[in-house]
């Protein structure tokens, strides 16, 4: 049973509301109760942080109290804040979410950084590169790369139609639609190649682990975005089988991996060329980059 929504009246001040929300969220076992309370209050009252800091004793008012009660109830059902707000920041850019898309994670920025670091070391960041993003979701990886690589173009593929549509909308909002296309497909079956950079953050959670994930993930991230099969590696096997026919000479394959999967994934791609592994901010091997022999 979700924890009860805290008492919020039109006369409740912003400061009091924050205190009530923090206590309710903490009692419900929510990870960052203070941060979540603040983000939801700002959204419900349609104010910026500076206004909250300047006028903390302002009452919520009729509409603010109603809106805040509604979003607090959703958070107490363990819906993530970014899904309630409908948007999530990734690589400094705003991405709209939909029920069919994974909420982009900061760990995935490690993959983007690894690709950029490799390209810059090769002196290719200004080249007219072609990028293929398999399992594109919101399009966050492809669009972050296009944002950084001014002459690159890309194709994002997803099995879910609504994800491909969400990614296309994000490309338009970010002013990148002229260099990005999105299609529905099963891995890379619809693509002929050659392409310069293959990127993917595929579903990589072993099926049996999913029921034990946090409610925010198990209830709100789509199963298609999580489930990597019995050992979590099904998608990598499909991608490794296709990579040799897809990659141009000297191309790169860059894959996000789950904790402890780097060795197995490197093994699947070993025949393609030299491999580097990049750690995330927690020191966990997070991105496997393969440079195809050129
Ligand atoms: C872990 S999510 C990654 C989403 C996004 N790239 C990101 O990093 O936030 C994996 C994505 O792969 C997609 N997917 C799952 N199976 C697929 C398949 N057979 N072919 C193409 N995409 C697939 C899912 O719909 C989901 O969007």
Tokens 């990614």, residue?
167
- From 148, 143, 94, 92, select the one nearest 116 (Cα to Cα): 148
Structural domain boundaries of the chain?
14-77, 99-291
CA dist., res. 165 & res. 171, Å (int): 10
Question: Does ligand 1 have an atom closer than 6 angstroms to the CB of 136?
Answer: yes
User: Which ligand 1 atom sits nearest the alpha carbon of residue 136?
Assistant: 6
User: Which ligand 1 atom sits nearest the alpha carbon of residue 238?
Assistant: 19
The residue whose C-alpha atom lies closest to atom 8 belonging to ligand 1 is 201
Q: How far is CA 170 from CA 96, 175, 255, 271, in A?
A: 6, 9, 22, 35
State residue 293's pLDDT score.
74
- Residues in CB range of 255: below 8 A, 6 or more apart: 111, 199, 200, 201, 202, 236, 239, 265, 269, 287, 288, 289, 290
pLDDT tens over the chain, length 294 residues? 666 777 899 999 999 999 999 999 999 999 999 999 999 999 999 999 999 999 999 999 999 999 999 999 999 999 999 999 999 999 999 999 999 999 999 999 999 999 999 999 999 999 999 999 999 999 999 999 999 999 999 999 999 999 999 999 999 999 999 999 999 999 999 999 899 999 999 999 999 999 999 999 999 999 999 999 999 999 999 999 999 999 999 999 999 999 999 999 999 999 999 999 999 999 999 999 999 876
Name the CATH superfamily housing domain 99-291: Vaccinia Virus protein VP39 (3.40.50.150)
State residue 67's pLDDT score.
96
State residue 3's pLDDT score.
67
Cα–ligand 1 centroid distance for 224 (angstroms): 7
| Annotated binding-site residue? 175 | no
Mutate to test the pocket of ligand 1, among 88, 103, 203 (most ligand atoms within 8 A of CB): 203
Cα–ligand 1 centroid distance for 45 (angstroms): 34
CA dist., res. 110 & res. 140, Å (int): 12
Q: Quick count: other Cβ atoms within 10 Å of Cβ 242?
A: 19
Cα–ligand 1 centroid distance for 137 (angstroms): 6
Question: Does ligand 1 have an atom closer than 6 angstroms to the CB of 228?
Answer: no
State residue 100's pLDDT score.
98
Q: Which long-range contacts (CB under 8 A, 24 or more apart) does 30-36 make?
A: 30/75, 30/76, 30/78, 36/75, 36/81
- Provide the β-strand partners of residue 198: 132, 253
Cα–ligand 1 centroid distance for 225 (angstroms): 5
């Amino acid at each position: 049973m979700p924890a009860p929504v805290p008492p919020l009246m039109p006369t409740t001040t912003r400061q009091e509301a924050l205190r009530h929300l923090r206590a309710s969220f903490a009692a419900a076992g929510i990870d960052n109760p203070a941060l979540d309370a603040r983000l939801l209050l700002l959204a419900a009252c349609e104010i910026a942080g500076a206004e909250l800091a300047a006028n903390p004793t302002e009452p919520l008012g009729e509409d603010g109290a109603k809106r805040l009660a509604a979003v607090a109830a959703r958070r107490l059902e363990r819906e993530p804040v970014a899904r309630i707000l409908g948007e999530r920041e990734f690589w400094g850019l705003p991405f709209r979410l939909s029920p069919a898309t994974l909420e982009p994670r900061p760990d995935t920025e490690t993959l983007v950084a690894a690709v950029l670091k490799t390209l810059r070391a090769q002196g290719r960041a200004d080249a007219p590169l072609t990028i293929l993003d398999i399992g594109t979701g919101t399009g966050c990886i492809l669009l972050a790369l296009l944002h950084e690589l001014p002459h690159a173009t890309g194709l994002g593929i997803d099995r879910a139609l609504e994800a491909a549509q969400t990614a296309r909308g994000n490309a338009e909002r970010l002013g990148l639609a002229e260099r990005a296309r999105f299609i529905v497909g099963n891995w890379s079956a619809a693509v002929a190649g050659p392409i310069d950079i293959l990127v993917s953050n595929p579903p990589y959670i072993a099926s049996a682990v999913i029921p034990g994930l946090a409610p925010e993930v198990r209830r709100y991230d789509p199963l298609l975005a999580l489930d990597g099969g019995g050992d979590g590696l099904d998608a990598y096997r499909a991608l490794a089988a296709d990579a040799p026919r897809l990659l141009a000479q000297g191309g790169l394959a860059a894959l996000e991996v789950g904790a402890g999967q780097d060795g197995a994934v490197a093994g699947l791609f070993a025949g393609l060329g030299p491999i580097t592994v990049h750690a995330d901010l927690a020191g966990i091997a997070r991105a496997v980059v393969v440079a195809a022999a050129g």
